[in-house]
Amino acid sequence: MEKIKIDKDIKISERSSVTVTEEIPEENSASAMTVSDHADRKDRNLSGCKYTVYDPGPYEIVAQMGEQALTDAQLLAVILRTGTDKTDATGLAKEILSICDPDRGLSGLNKLSVLDMTGIYGIGKVKAAQLRCVCEIARRMGKRTDIKKADFSGPETIADHYMYDLAHLDKERVIAVLLDTRCRFIRDITLSVGGSDFAFINPRDVFCEVLKTGAAAFVLLHNHPSGDPSPSAADMTMTAKIAEGAKLLGVRFLDHIVIGFNCFVSMKAEGIIR
């Protein structure tokens, strides 16, 4: 078996040093080593060694350990494929993540526009479009495909369906979900788009849509861009007005759900809607 020789200097004292030749079988060379072999080599690496330990790339890690072993930057690097003359694809991915909300990790990509991304050296319109499409794929994968068969009588099902749509928005958005007598989905409609911490809705607009559709029940949802789903005083006041109007019209107002970052609050469960 052919062997590869690696020379390294190991410092013995302030006045002397010794050169050691380590023989490594060819199958354990950089081109054939597994990820665990790389870790072993790093563990055995001594201060002052002349050789540089080979770091496996994302594709090698996926092949040997699975995609779950990749870091966020390495996952993005697989999508980007190439870097620039200054850095590789992983380095470019780290630059993208550096402008995302650090508390949201990869989810922060949802808040980056094409313009935000193309401001980074090495990210053109094509790469930016690829990343936006990845976000859209994730959004669609997170939604139910059989929505018309779902039972929307409980807040968990409703929040789960709309979580990805609302949790990453920069502005508050109010949505009415219209349901039949069995709490099955009829349609949803956006009632209002506000600012980063407010959204105005007129109860009349809510009930016009309910009556026009012939819905027997409805649920309201809106998001808090801050990530905290705790209802504000204004949220509770508006909810009370709509609940009062629903009783007069004989329509069931099932819930008002506030969406935060991967969490939600049900005003029905909190006792705000009775």
Cβ atoms 127, 117 nearer than 8 A: yes
Identical fold at 66-141 and 147-266? no
Contact assessment for residue 192 and residue 200, using Cβ atoms and an 8 Å cutoff: yes
Supply 47's token pair. Answer: 């201060």
- Domains of the chain by residue range: 3-56, 66-141, 147-266
Cα separation, 238 vs 142, whole angstroms: 30
Nearest to 139 by CA among 173, 119, 169: 169
How much is the pLDDT for 111?
86
Token duo for residue 50 = 């002349």
The CATH number of 147-266 is which of 2.130.10.10, 2.60.130.10, 3.40.140.10, 3.40.50.970? 3.40.140.10
Residue 189, judged by CB atoms within 10 A of its CB (0-12, 13-18, 19+), counts as middle
| Helix locations, 143-266, DSSP H | 155-167, 203-213, 233-249
- pLDDT string in tens for the chain (274-residue length): 444 444 444 333 333 334 444 444 444 434 344 555 554 544 444 445 444 445 678 889 999 999 999 999 999 999 999 999 999 999 999 999 999 988 888 988 988 999 999 999 999 999 999 999 999 998 888 776 678 788 999 999 999 999 988 988 999 999 999 999 999 999 999 999 999 888 989 999 999 999 999 999 999 999 999 999 999 999 999 999 999 999 999 999 999 999 999 899 999 999 999 8
Question: What's the CA gap between 84 and 127, in Å, rounded?
Answer: 12
Nearest-CA neighbor of 163 among 182, 178, 142, 187? 142
In a 13 Å sphere around the CA of 119, the CA atoms on its Cβ side amount to 8
Give 66-141's CATH code, choosing from 1.10.1740, 1.10.150, 1.10.287, 1.10.3470. Answer: 1.10.150
Q: What is the 3-state secondary structure (H, E, C) of 58-71?
A: HHHHHHHHCHHHCC
Q: Is the Cβ–Cβ distance between 180 and 216 less than 8 Å?
A: yes
Q: What is residue 107's predicted lDDT score, i.e. its pLDDT?
A: 86
Query: What local confidence, expressed as pLDDT, does residue 8 receive?
Result: 45
